[in-house]
Amino acid sequence: MNNVLFVCTGNICRSPTAEGVFRKLLLEKKIAVEFNVDSAGTHSYYVGRKPDERAKMEALLRGYDISNHVARQLENIDFLCFDLILAMDFKNIQYMKEICPNEYFYKVKLLTNFSNYYRNTEVPDPYYGNRNGFKLVIDYIEDACNGLIDYLNF
């Protein structure tokens, strides 16, 4: 389970934040070299763009630098290459299961399935909201990524 992909809709807010949080946790545990971590979007709205400025700012305030991220769209090859494909919300899972080969369904999970406090809750899309939405997203993601580290026994 060393290949982890985080997925949201446009790959400019939630999934790059999750990627950044998870990468930092792996660095702190001194196991980052053992992992391939990436993020993608279900839709091509923002392919080639940097993260949303509000997401970058809130991430940086918590010690996560996601400024070098470039948005990309989920590709069919991702279902083969990644061990875990973690969606931010139920719409993302629904979309992925529509395009995912049946033999890889088991890889697609909701990120918050790994949460200690926000289990089975979606990571809300903050794009159309205010700054508080971006703060809440990081709360959910930090909790889930810490749970994911525990799940992976590190």
Tell me: the pLDDT tens digits for 89-132?
999 999 999 999 999 999 999 999 999 998 778 999 999 988 89
% of the chain beyond a pLDDT of 70? 98
The predicted structure's pLDDT at residue 154: 66
Is 14 annotated as catalytic?
Answer: yes
CA 137 to chain centre: 11
* CA distance from start to end of the chain: 12
The predicted structure's pLDDT at residue 1: 66
Q: Give percent helix, percent strand, percent coil of the chain, each to the nearest 5.
A: 50, 15, 40
Is 125 annotated as catalytic?
Answer: yes
Domain holding 124: CATH number? 3.40.50.2300
Is 62 annotated as catalytic?
Answer: no
**Domain count of the fold of the chain:** 1
**What ranges make up the beta strands (E) of 9-136?**
36-41, 84-87, 108-110
- Name the CA radius of gyration of the chain, rounded: 14
User: For residue 137, what are the domain limits?
Assistant: 3-151
Q: Which of 8, 13, 100, 145 is catalytic?
A: 8
Contacts of 47 (CB under 8 A, 6+ apart): 11, 41, 71, 72, 73
- Mean pLDDT value across the chain: 95
The predicted structure's pLDDT at residue 153: 79
57: pLDDT confidence band, cut at 50, 70 and 90?
very high
Q: Which of 52, 78, 125, 143 is catalytic?
A: 125
Contacts of 84 (CB under 8 A, 6+ apart): 1, 3, 4, 5, 107, 109
| Distance (Å, whole) CA 144 – CA 126 | 17
Residue 92 burial by CB count (10 A; 0-12/13-18/19+): exposed, middle or buried?
buried
Average pLDDT over residues 35-45: 97
